[in-house]
Amino acid sequence: MMIALVNGRILSDHGIADGQAVLLGEGHIRAVVPMNALPAEVAQYDLRGGILLPGFIDVQVNGGGGILFNDAPTVDAIKTIGAAHAKFGTAGFLPTIISADLTAIRAAITAVDTAIEASVPGVLGIHIEGPFLNSARKGIHDASKFRALDTEAFELLTSLKRGKTLLTLAPETTTPQTIRALANAGVIVSAGHTDSNFDVVQSALRSGVRGFTHLFNAMSPLTSRAPGVVGAALDDRESWCGIIVDGHHVHPAVLRIALRCKGDERLMLITDAMPSVGSPAKSFALQGRTITVKGGVCVAPDGTLAGSDLDMAAAVRNTISLLGVDLATAARMASFNPAAFLGLEQKLGRIAPGYRADLVLLTEKLDAVQTWVGGRPLLAS
């Protein structure tokens, strides 16, 4: 059965347009047509003047709805986390496990594989952040979990049968040959929690590193004679950079500089969200430490940032207000760009015929009121 989403403002490739309707059928967008061209027999869903955008895609989701994926690498946990983020317009996400032993990572991969097979809404794959990281840039990660990327680890990292595998590693902890082998096996490799120098990162980029995890955070900085990881990321025109736009992880002026260097085509919004997102509880346990949300920031007792309390709708609003871009640009950074980073730009991230009907409806204040995943409406608020 076809359904038409009507009476909204629709974001197309040419900007936001009025007087258009989006036809959905069998989980996909069938057409975008003028309202006066709607078939008479099509059922209608009234958008009530809201703004319809492609559903947001978040490639770094540690938790939500009171659940931390590390503590509960299960299908039920993924369902809870996905439902919590759907309230804020996230229609696609990667459950993210931070540095853990291989047994826990294996359980997380199995859970994601099973969740995708069971059509749990929104799950696109897994993000394995560590444990192949540099202790000098560990951030909130437990350095006792760090280990070498050996044959056993390689086989595990390439074992997901369904969906995408994103791996964050420190390039200096492995070899260009291993990075190339991972990329050839279909793993999307991102540099993060790294103290690499510029030359090492350049070599890693040539070997298959595709992006940078939470740009500026937990990586060697740009200085006058040592460009570091940040300098390599900003200098490279092809790689993708995830950014946390919460006003706390990175100063807005620094993000605006990154925008000028990379262009909006290669920056993607991420949340790095923790269990507090979509939950009334604003404290949680992480690796034996109590993390508390203070002023919108997740912090450990020693003041270390521990992920974020950010949702994607808020990230879009912040990107507009702090980076000075328009809604269409912010929306692209939250949808099409992460889809392209994952190699899914032919299926996700646009309101166009043939694309999966992953959508979010926003109010004029850019609050999410409804999210669709594969044409299925999920109550957003």
| pLDDT tens-place string over residues 225-258 | 999 999 999 999 999 999 999 999 999 999 999 9
Q: What is the pTM of this model?
A: 0.97
Q: Which residues have a Cβ under 8 Å from the Cβ of 251 and sit 6 or more positions away?
A: none
Interstrand relation of 289-294 and 56-61 (parallel, antiparallel or unpaired):
unpaired
CATH fold of 3-53+352-379, please?
Answer: Urease, subunit C; domain 1 (2.30.40)
Residue 272 is among the residues annotated as catalytic for this protein = yes
Please state, as a whole number, how many other Cβ atoms lie within 10 Å of the Cβ of residue 50: 20
CB 378 within 8 A of CB 89: no
Indicate the class that CATH gives domain 55-341.
alpha beta
CB 239 within 8 A of CB 233: yes
CA–CA distance, 22 with 4 (Å, rounded to integer) = 5
Interstrand relation of 51-54 and 9-12 (parallel, antiparallel or unpaired):
parallel
Residues of the chain with CATH 2.30.40.10: 3-53+352-379
pLDDT digits (tens, 9 = 90+) for 327-378: 999 999 999 999 999 999 999 999 999 999 999 999 999 999 999 999 999 9
Q: What is the DSSP letter of 235?
A: H
The residue from 272, 309, 311, 358 that is catalytic is 272
186: left (phi over 0), alpha (psi -120 to 50) or beta: left
Burial classification of residue 281, based on how many CB atoms lie within 10 Å of its CB (0-12 exposed, 13-18 middle, 19 or more buried): exposed
pLDDT digits (tens, 9 = 90+) for 160-206: 999 999 999 999 999 999 999 999 999 999 999 999 999 999 999 99
Cα 110 to Cα 44, 121, 265, 363: the distances in Å are 39, 17, 33, 37
